[in-house]
Structure 1
C-alpha cells in the first residue's frame, strides 16, 4: 500500500472492446452488470479507484486503452457521469491502432480491427505517457481488462511481491479447477515464466494431475499484469515490437459472412523479455470473473455478491442471510469511521448498502 500512497503506481485499463457479444451496442465498459444498482463495468472500476484514493490520500493516474470503434462513445459516457468522481485530469485516453484483416491468401483487406491488448505499449510510448509517468515517479504500471469486475486496478500485494523478488513483471493468476477452461496457462519454459494458450498445450497435459490429485499446471492467467516502468522503458529504447498473432475468424461485412485472418498483439508476450517474473495466485472466485458473453453474466453477479458477502462478514463479524445484496465500493477500502460504524452490526434489510 505504501507504493500506492507515495504515488508510485499507475494503471492502464484495457477498454477497447464493444459489447457486441453481449447484445449491447456501446463500449463493453458501459454494460450494466451489478445486481442491485446495475452499475456498469466502468462505474464499478472508477468507484473502486475513487475510494482507494480516499484511503491513500493521493490521486492515482489512470489510462484507458480505447479503440477507434469506441473512443468517442467512451469519452461521452464518462463525461456524462462526471467520471464517477475521478478527475478528468488524472485520466489519459490511448487509442490503439488497427490491423487489417487478411484474406485466405494472406493479402490485406479493407476491413480492420484493433491490434490487441499488446498495443498498449506502442501507444504508451508514442503518446509520451510512459515518459510522463516515469518523470512523475511512477515505478509500477498495473494493467487490467475492463471486463473483469473482480480485477484490482492497484494490487498492492502483487507490487510488493515484485519488490521482494526484484521482478520486472508481475502476473496475477488464479487456481484452475476446470482443466477444460479456455484460459492461458502459466508455465515455465526455457527458464522463464510465460503464458501458453490452452490450444498450444496437449489435452493430456492440461488434464494431468500429480499424486495429490492437483492439476500439474494449476495456474490460469487472469490477464492482470504489473510492469516496472523501467522495464517498459528499456523495451522502448530497444525498439521492441511484439509479434502479431493471426487467427482465422468468421467475419461479417454488411450482409456478407466470410473467413479471414485477424491479427492481434498480446501483452503476455512481454514476459519473454523479463528476466524475473513474479506470479501470485488467488482463488478464482475472488479474482477472475470475465464477461465475454451474456452466458457469463449470472456467474459474474454471483461472484460479486459472494465477494460483498465476505467483505461485510469480515468487517462486521456477523454472518449474513443467504440473500443477494450489493455493497458500495467504499467497503472495499473501509475507513476507520466506516469500520466503527458497522462493527458488530447485522446486514440491514435493504438491498444496497452504503
Structure 2
C-alpha cells in the first residue's frame, strides 16, 4: 500500500512536500508512477544543486579579468604553427594507438534538431549534401576510413569503439536509425549507445516543478552529464574491458570534425596529457565563444560574458588576441582521467542555469504553458572538468578545416546547414587542389563532396585528380558506393573507383 504521509515525510526536510499535493486525485497506477518518479531522484542532492546554482549565479557576476592568464606556450600546440615533421610524428603516434585498439570516441548526441526545425536527433539531420549523408553517417565513415589508414600505416588492424551519449528523447530514435542503416558499415559491437541523466526543473524559489499531477518536470543534465553517465551506464567498465586508453570527445553537430583525430591524439599522448582541448583562434574580441585560459592556477573555459571588453581586446606583441583560444567542444581524455572525474569529482562540477518557459501544473491541477520564463533548468558542461586535470594541454586548429557547427535554421545565416555545407565544399575543394586537381571556377555556388570512405583528411586523391580539370558539381565516392533510390549514398570502405559528378 502506497503511503502519502511517508513520502511527504521524506520530502519535507528538503521543502518539496508539494509534490504529493494531488495524491487524493490520483489512481493507484498514477500514485505508483509519482513514487517512482520521486524516488528516481536523489532529492537531497538536487536541492543542494539548486542551492549551488544560486551561489554560482552570484559569483558569475564578478568579472574574472584580474585572475585570468593566457595558456602557457609550452602546452599550447598548434596545427598551423607546427612543422610537417612534427605533425607527422603526432599523426604516427595516433595511428599506432588506433591500430592497437586503444582509441575510443565519445560522441555527445543528446540534442534534438529543434532549432533546425526538426523533431528528431540532430545526428540524423541531412544537411543537403549531394550524397544526402547525415551527420551520423559522415562521422561513422570517418571512423571506417581512419581504421583503414591505421592498418595501412602499421600493418595491424584495430577498431575504434564509438560511444554515443543520447538523451531520453534521442535514445530510441538513434538506435533505430543505426539499425536501419546497418551501422553504416561499422561492427555493431563497437557502437555503444547510452543515455545521459535528467535533472528536475525548479521554480525560481527552489521548488521542483510538476509537469503533471503524477510526474516531475525533468530535463537532460547537459553535456557535462557525460561523466555520471559513463559511471552509471557502466561505459567506463566497457572501456576497461576493451583496453581503451584514450578518448576523443566531441559534439555531434560539427560537420568538419576529424573523428578520433590521430594528430590531436598523438600530440596529447606525446605531451603526457590526461586532458586536452582542441581550440580555434577567435575571429574578433567580441565573438561569442568561451576562451580556454588559466584562472587561479587551473585551466578552465571562461565565457565571453564573464570578462570586460578591455580584457577581451588585449593583444600580444604579434597583434594576436591574448585570450584567443576559442572553445569548440572538442576534447581529449585518458580513460584514467575519466574514471578519476566520475568517481571523485563529478558531484563537484559547476552547475549552469538556463531560465526557461517550463510547463507546470498550477494549484488547481491544470497544466499551464507559460508565455515567459518561470523556472530554471540546471545543466553541467563537459569542459568544467578542466580544473581537475594535472596535465592539461591545448591544440589549436584552423577553423576552416575543423569547425563548422550545424545549430540554427538557414534563416539565421550563421552556424546553419547552408554555412556548414559550403564550408565542407570549400574544404574538399582545397583537398582536390592540394592533390593537383585544377579547378577554375569561383567558390561561389561551388559543390564538391568527397566521401569520407575515400579520404579522411585529403589523402588518397592524387592518383585520381592530379592534373585533372575539374568542374562543379564534383562528387567522389569509394568503390561500392552508389546512390540509393532515396538519394542517399550507401557503401563500404574501399579505394577511389572514379570521379562521379552529378547535379
TM-score class, shorter-chain normalisation, is over 0.9
SS in 2 for 1:108: coil
Matched-pair contact (CA < 8 Å) for 2:447–2:473: no
The 1:63–1:350 alpha-carbon spacing in structure 2 relative to 1, beyond 3 Å, is same
Query: 1 CA distance for matches of 2:279 and 2:218?
Result: 32
| 1:326-337 superposed matches below 5 A | 326-333=449-456
Query: 1 CA distance for matches of 2:404 and 2:473?
Result: 25
Residue 351 of structure 1 is matched in structure 2 by 474
| 1:271-282 superposed matches below 5 A | 271-282=386-397
Q: Which moved more, 1:127-136 or 1:180-189?
A: 127-136
Query: 2 CA distance for matches of 1:346 and 1:72?
Result: 46
Q: CA RMSD in A?
A: 2.1
Matched-pair contact (CA < 8 Å) for 2:455–2:461: no
Matched-pair contact (CA < 8 Å) for 1:313–1:320: no
Matched-pair contact (CA < 8 Å) for 1:106–1:261: no
Q: Which moved more, 1:204-213 or 1:248-257?
A: 248-257
Matched-pair contact (CA < 8 Å) for 1:244–1:263: no
| 1:223-302 superposed matches below 5 A | 223-238=329-344, 240-253=346-359, 255-259=369-373, 260-294=375-409, 295=412, 296-297=415-416, 298-302=418-422
The 1:131–1:320 alpha-carbon spacing in structure 2 relative to 1, beyond 3 Å, is farther
Does the alignment pair 1:321 with 2:441?
yes
Q: CA deviation at 1:351?
A: 3.2
Question: After superposition, what is the alpha-carbon deviation per residue over 1:113-146, rounded to whole angstroms, capped at 9, x for unaligned?
Answer: 1101111111112222212212322110110100
Query: 2 CA distance for matches of 1:243 and 1:334?
Result: 35
Q: Which moved more, 1:121-130 or 1:340-349?
A: 340-349
Residue 9 of structure 1 is matched in structure 2 by 103
Query: 2 CA distance for matches of 1:264 and 1:26?
Result: 21
The 1:208–1:328 alpha-carbon spacing in structure 2 relative to 1, beyond 3 Å, is same
Question: After superposition, what is the alpha-carbon deviation per residue over 1:267-323, rounded to whole angstroms, capped at 9, x for unaligned?
Answer: 111111101111010112112111221132222122111111111222235345332
Matched-pair contact (CA < 8 Å) for 1:118–1:242: no
The 1:337–1:327 alpha-carbon spacing in structure 2 relative to 1, beyond 3 Å, is closer
Residue 198 of structure 2 is matched in structure 1 by 98
Partner of residue 19 from structure 1, selected from 113, 137, 140: 113
SS in 1 for 2:329: strand
Matched-pair contact (CA < 8 Å) for 2:431–2:458: no
Query: 1 CA distance for matches of 2:110 and 2:460?
Result: 38
Q: Which moved more, 1:189-198 or 1:94-103?
A: 189-198
Matched-pair contact (CA < 8 Å) for 1:36–1:351: no
The 1:320–1:45 alpha-carbon spacing in structure 2 relative to 1, beyond 3 Å, is farther
Residue 48 of structure 1 is matched in structure 2 by 142
Matched-pair contact (CA < 8 Å) for 1:179–1:207: yes
Q: CA deviation at 1:18?
A: 0.5
Partner of residue 80 from structure 1, selected from 165, 180, 190: 180
Question: After superposition, what is the alpha-carbon deviation per residue over 1:229-266, rounded to whole angstroms, capped at 9, x for unaligned?
Answer: 11122334436424252324232536433421111111
Q: CA deviation at 1:335?
A: 10
Query: 2 CA distance for matches of 1:216 and 1:7?
Result: 39
Query: 2 CA distance for matches of 1:78 and 1:338?
Result: 29
Query: 2 CA distance for matches of 1:246 and 1:79?
Result: 35
When Rg is computed on C-alpha atoms for both structures, the one with the higher figure is 2
Q: Report the count of equivalent residues.
A: 354
TM-score by length of 2: 0.66
Q: CA deviation at 1:338?
A: 5.3
Does the alignment pair 1:191 with 2:305?
no
Query: 1 CA distance for matches of 2:169 and 2:371?
Result: 20
SS in 1 for 2:469: coil
The 1:313–1:20 alpha-carbon spacing in structure 2 relative to 1, beyond 3 Å, is same
Query: 1 CA distance for matches of 2:268 and 2:352?
Result: 32
Q: Which moved more, 1:19-28 or 1:291-300?
A: 291-300
Q: Which moved more, 1:106-115 or 1:325-334?
A: 325-334
Q: CA deviation at 1:337?
A: 6.9
Residue 263 of structure 2 is matched in structure 1 by 157
Query: 2 CA distance for matches of 1:25 and 1:245?
Result: 27
SS in 2 for 1:257: coil
Partner of residue 281 from structure 2, selected from 175, 182, 194: 175
Matched-pair contact (CA < 8 Å) for 1:14–1:117: yes
Partner of residue 125 from structure 1, selected from 215, 231, 248: 231
TM-score by length of 1: 0.93
Q: CA deviation at 1:339?
A: 4.1
